[in-house]
Amino acid sequence: MRLQLALLSLRRHRSRTLLAALGVAVSGAMLLDMVMLATGMRESFASLLGRNRFTIRVSPRGTLPFDSEATITNAADAATAIARVSTVTTVAPVLGATLHVLDAGEPVTAFALGVDPRVQGDYELLGGRHPTDPNELVASDALLARLSARLGDTLDVAVGFDPQLGTFAGRRRLLIVGRARFLFLSAGDRAAALQLSTVQAMGGVGRRDRVSLFMVRTAPGADVEAAQAAIERAVPRVTALSIAGAVAEAENRLSYFRQLAFILGAVSLIVGFLLVTTMMTVSVNERIGEIAVMRAIGVSRLHVVHQIVLEGVAISLAGAAVGLVLGIGTARYLNSILRSFPGLPDAIDFFLFQPDSALRAIGLLVMSGIAAGIYPAWRAASLPVAATLREEAVG
Amino acid sequence: MNASPLVSARDVHRDYALAGAAVHAVRGVSLDVAAGEYLAVVGPSGCGKSTLLNLLGAIDRPTRGTVTIGGTEVSALPDREATRFRLTKIGFVFQRFYLLPVLSARENVELPMAEAGVAQSERRRRAVELLGYVGLAPRADHRPSELSGGEQQRVAIARALANRPSLLLADEPTGELDAQTGGEVIRLFDRLNGDGVTVIVVTHDEQLAAAARRVIHMLDGRVVRDEPLLRRA
């Protein structure tokens, strides 16, 4: 009967209850968004790095992958040394370069990745096939669109340009054999993947037997930290970075995002709490005579406390349910805006919906609903019954 | 009067502060009410009638003195036990009815039974029975706002009887009713008393006071006259 009374009491002032629940919904949506933002980037980044189960990135010593133009020399030897580490199962080399497509009236530049198509983890095929021949490439949709090219077309490309002479070096004609989504590039980036040997050969002496990084897979359950250390011992001229290390590095660089999310989340929680407290306090003040009579006829303090707290929780739960939908909708919209920033990997999400995060946000809201009901409930339960009845009779 | 009264007040005082000044609402009242009695407490406004009723009903605690009901010194009970005592042993009727507006008449009557842990089917049966007793069975599913003042007061009386109390306390039960509906309530109290319920009413209503078997007069917090066993013809 307590729950029934609580719900009926809320229904008594429908528009006020609705407005309070909507207020909680807005604050809940913001809280959920902030929780999604606080955890989303980290999880999304970790998920991106962990895609295809590559657990370690190996880059030139003292650098982060593609942080600079630096390359690893004697790449073949390095790859062999890394592959000898007992827990390493796959070594995927990657060499980055600027690709100039010369077919169009004006040269079009794109980002080229030299990879081993059999083990690469940089792109996902959307159509066609991998470049199995040295004179083949796969291209991003943005590049194909820019060139008005299709699968089966041949492109005149180069990887070197001398600005003084205005000439291109390392020219080749390459056949487009696939369409691909490049995981570490944004959707609008023009990009192509070629065989590693092709990029090395087109790059001339400066790129011969060099790679920008190795992506390394370790055996399932293997100690990644130990493998990382073993790689650095085997190839002293490299830095090995595990996913955890990369995520920590990214978190360090984006810590202000988390702080902002934490502060805004806390503010929205406090706003929701104050909203419910205010509404419940007003409601209790209006019903002070009824409550005094309930106490007089033998209704326990505990019943009164339960009823008021249940009312607060009911508002919070209703608000949380609406806030969940609102929060997810808002997060998707904000995510689409943020993801359109240039240079961000297509696979990165700022707001990542995770059931755990949603439950955590709803749990926080419900807890704040309980806490919000405590003061008015205490006020209602500690009414001096006789004095209140006397005042009500006079009033 | 029985050797062992149902309600016994001994040298009861109740002082409280009002706007910074001490108010001596009840000053040394001693009173015995036997089981089955029908007592009216009358007196001018502010003479301490309602305060005395609250003390007799364990709603309030005396500043000094004792109140005993059915052998239990209710004035010494901690809040939790006093609340339970009120729930199971005393029925209250108030001037302003104070039904919960969100509940139907039947649900209002069920409330004290639910609080006392009576099973739902049993409390529903008894609520309907009690509403029948006060003549409101057809209005059981109506909300208080759909009932007249007299009907609301009769629902409040049914609620007061829900847990079969031995004592019914009423504070100006006809105060907000016209003469006709007030008369219905008076007849109902009379019937209740006839069925063995001990009734104490605080009232300004001469008709209601005249229906009681005993009337005490209060003035300035004291009992100034006690007219016992005024049986009507």
- Output the DSSP codes for A51-100: GGG--EEEEETT--TTSSS--BSSHHHHHHHHHHSTTEEEEEEEEEEEEE
Q: What is the DSSP string of B101-140?
A: TTS-HHHHHHHHHHHTT--HHHHHHHHHHHHHHTT-GGGT
Write the CB contacts of A363 (distance below 8 Å, at least 6 apart in sequence): none
Q: Mean pLDDT throughout A14-35?
A: 87
Which of B56, B100, B145 to mutate to probe the A interface, most A CBs <10 Å?
A: B100
**CB B184, CB B154: distance < 8 Å:** yes
Percent of chain B exceeding pLDDT 70 equals: 97
User: Å from A282 to nearest chain B CA?
Assistant: 17
pLDDT at B229: 55
Mean pLDDT, chain A, whole residue set? 87
Write the CB contacts of A157 (distance below 8 Å, at least 6 apart in sequence): A99, A100, A101, A102, A137, A171, A172, A173, A174, A202
Residue contact B114–A1, C-beta within 8 A:
yes
- Token pair recorded at residue A328: 């997810």
Any A CB within 8 A of B57 CB: yes
Percent of chain B exceeding pLDDT 90 equals: 68
Q: How confident is the model at residue B2 (pLDDT cuts 50, 70, 90)?
A: very low
pLDDT at B3: 56
Residue contact A294–B100, C-beta within 8 A:
yes
Q: Flag the least confident range among A248-252, B166-170, B195-199.
A: A248-252
Q: Mean pLDDT throughout B21-46?
A: 92
Q: How confident is the model at residue B220 (pLDDT cuts 50, 70, 90)?
A: very high
Mean pLDDT, chain B, whole residue set? 90
Contact list, A11 vs chain B (CB under 8 Å): 102
- Chain segment A127-159, per-residue pLDDT in tens: 999 999 999 999 999 999 999 999 999 999 998
pTM above 0.80, yes or no: no
The nearest alpha carbon in chain A to B83 belongs to A298
Q: How confident is the model at residue B1 (pLDDT cuts 50, 70, 90)?
A: very low
Q: Mean pLDDT throughout A293-299?
A: 91
Question: Smallest Cβ distance to A12: which of B16, B79, B101?
Answer: B101
Residue contact A5–B102, C-beta within 8 A:
yes
Contact list, B100 vs chain A (CB under 8 Å): 5, 290, 294
Element of type H or E holding B72: strand B72-73
Q: Mean pLDDT throughout A335-360?
A: 79
Q: What's the rounded Cα separation, in Å, for the pair A283 and A278?
A: 8
Whether the pLDDT of residue B101 is over 80: the answer is yes
Residue contact B87–A297, C-beta within 8 A:
yes
Q: Pairing between strand B90-93 and B38-42?
A: unpaired
Percent of chain A exceeding pLDDT 70 equals: 99
Q: How many CB pairs under 8 A join A and B?
A: 80
User: Å from B174 to nearest chain A CA?
Assistant: 14
Any A CB within 8 A of B64 CB: no
Residue contact A297–B92, C-beta within 8 A:
yes
Contact list, A296 vs chain B (CB under 8 Å): 57, 59, 86, 92, 94
Q: What's the rounded Cα separation, in Å, for the pair B93 and B103?
A: 17
Q: What's the rounded Cα separation, in Å, for the pair B108 and B92?
A: 13
Residue contact A299–B111, C-beta within 8 A:
yes
Any A CB within 8 A of B54 CB: yes
A14-50 vs A2-12: helix axis angle to the nearest 10? 110
- Chain segment A350-390, per-residue pLDDT in tens: 887 888 878 888 888 888 888 888 889 988 888 888 888 87
Q: Mean pLDDT throughout B12-20?
A: 87
User: Å from A15 to nearest chain B CA?
Assistant: 16
- Chain segment A36-79, per-residue pLDDT in tens: 887 777 777 787 777 778 889 999 998 877 777 889 999 999 99
Q: Mean pLDDT throughout B141-159?
A: 92
Classify A329 as helix, strand or coil: helix
Instruction: Give A152's Cβ-side CA count (13 Å radius).
Output: 1
The nearest alpha carbon in chain B to A302 belongs to B80
**CB A75, CB A211: distance < 8 Å:** yes
Write down the ipTM of this complex. 0.89
Q: What ranges do the domains of chain A cover?
A: 2-48+254-394, 62-236
Q: What's the rounded Cα separation, in Å, for the pair A31 and A19?
A: 18
Q: What's the rounded Cα separation, in Å, for the pair B19 and A72?
A: 87
Whether the pLDDT of residue B125 is over 90: the answer is yes
A-proximal residues of B, 10-39, CB under 8 Å: 16
